Structure 1
Amino acid sequence: MTTLPLRNNEGFLEDADSWTPEVAEEIAAEDSIQLNENHWEIIDFLREFYKQHEMSPPSNRLFVKAVKEAFGDDKGNSIYLMQLFPGTPAKTACRIAGLPRPTNCL
């Protein structure tokens, strides 16, 4: 078990630079998610998105759109992303990826 870095009351890391793949595994396990290659593809994409834009995708709609542009229709749709990251996919995926909470996700 990894010692998790400091997080806010919603479970998002206070410092995105404290994230590691092991931290992602621990956070995902809290939601009963066992990460596989499909999850990691999206997590890696989100972390790169954050590096380029200095922000998480601001809404679920924009998250789906960005994934669609990067990976095509099969992966860039709400159903696929909800299967990987239940609840609000952008919020769940960003939390696991160690990124800030999307600004427009409830």
Structure 2
Amino acid sequence: MKCPSAVVIHGKRIELVNCVPKKAEEWSIELARALAEANGIKFTDDVAKIVKYVREFWLQYGTCPPISVVESDMAIDRRTILALFGGRYDVICILAGAEPPTGCLSQVLSST
């Protein structure tokens, strides 16, 4: 995923580290849309709903939800979810302003 060091949203410069705002409170759906579109991801209503869901989960639990939880709670199958985000699970977390999972689990999720 292409990650700028900063973006400007509504005239405010937001510093990013690996596409995630340095200050968590600076995340917005507009930022998610800008990053998605810069990476060729069409920001549809379904994409926005999933990103918002993952953001809320992250705020509550401090981690991105397993894709099986997203699949179940959103009633969207895994392949459809991944297709919306270019086949990569980590992109969902990044767009939600959360650090994506690392290691083999992330690789497995992105390859299913």
Smaller-chain TM-score bracket: 0.7 to 0.9
Alpha-carbon distance in structure 2 between the residues aligned to 1:94 and 1:41 = 13
Partner of 1:92: 91
**Unpaired runs of 5+ in structure 1?**
none
Alpha-carbon distance in structure 1 between the residues aligned to 2:47 and 2:94 = 13
- TM-score norm. by structure 2 comes to 0.72
Deviation of 1:45 after TM superposition, in Å, equals 0.8
> Tell me, what secondary structure is at the counterpart of 2:60?
helix
Assess if the C-alpha contact under 8 Å between 2:64 and 2:98 holds in 1.
yes
Structure ID, larger Rg? 2
Assess if the C-alpha contact under 8 Å between 1:16 and 1:100 holds in 2.
no
Higher RCO (CA < 8 A, seq sep 6+)? 1
> Tell me, what secondary structure is at the counterpart of 2:20?
coil
Deviation of 1:36 after TM superposition, in Å, equals 1.2
- 1:32 is the counterpart of 2:40: yes
Percent identical: 22
* Structure with the higher strand share, 1 or 2: 2
Q: Provide closer, same or farther for how the CA distance between residues 18 and 43 of structure 1 changes in structure 2, counting only shifts above 3 A.
A: same
Q: CA RMSD in A?
A: 1.9
Partner of 1:7: 16
Deviation of 1:4 after TM superposition, in Å, equals 5.1
Deviation of 1:34 after TM superposition, in Å, equals 2.4
